[in-house]
């Protein structure tokens, strides 16, 4: 490993479509509706390996694919891990982070876009 004085960040993105409605909310979003979500996961590292890679994109894509495939084309309110919870963009961002963090030690942030102009970010 080559030690550097710079922090490297890498990101992969995946899309999924799902329906949901917000609980304990007054407004249009309390009604069932859907989104074409865009999810970004970000990992970082301080070192480069012999291939000059800080974090392998393939590892990030594989970890994200498992979670996103499980959420794709479902009613999030009926998802086994979301029962009784309001599946907001913030909740989804935290959920995805928690699901893939054990497999992605460099993970530091997830971003979930509900539309091209609004997103929620989760990091610890």
* Active site residue ranges: 29, 73, 114
List % helix, strand, coil for the chain (3-state, nearest 5): 30, 40, 30
Dihedral-angle region of residue 42 (phi above 0 means left; psi in -120 to 50 means alpha; beta otherwise): beta
Nearest to 17, CA basis, from 92, 75, 87, 80: 75
- Contacts of residue 32, Cβ cutoff 8 Å, sequence gap at least 6: 19, 20, 21, 75
């Amino acid at each position: 490993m080559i030690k550097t004085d710079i922090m490297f960040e890498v990101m992969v993105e995946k899309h999924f479509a799902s329906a949901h409605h917000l609980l304990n909310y007054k407004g249009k979003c309390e009604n069932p509706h859907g989104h074409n979500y865009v999810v970004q996961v970000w990992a970082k590292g301080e070192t480069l390996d012999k291939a000059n890679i800080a974090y392998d994109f393939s590892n990030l894509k594989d970890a994200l694919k498992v979670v996103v495939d499980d959420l794709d084309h479902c009613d999030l309110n009926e998802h086994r891990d979301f029962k009784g919870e309001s599946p907001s963009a913030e909740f989804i961002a935290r959920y995805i982070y928690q699901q893939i963090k054990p497999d992605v030690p460099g993970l530091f942030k997830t971003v979930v876009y509900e539309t091209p102009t609004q997103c929620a970010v989760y990091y610890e």
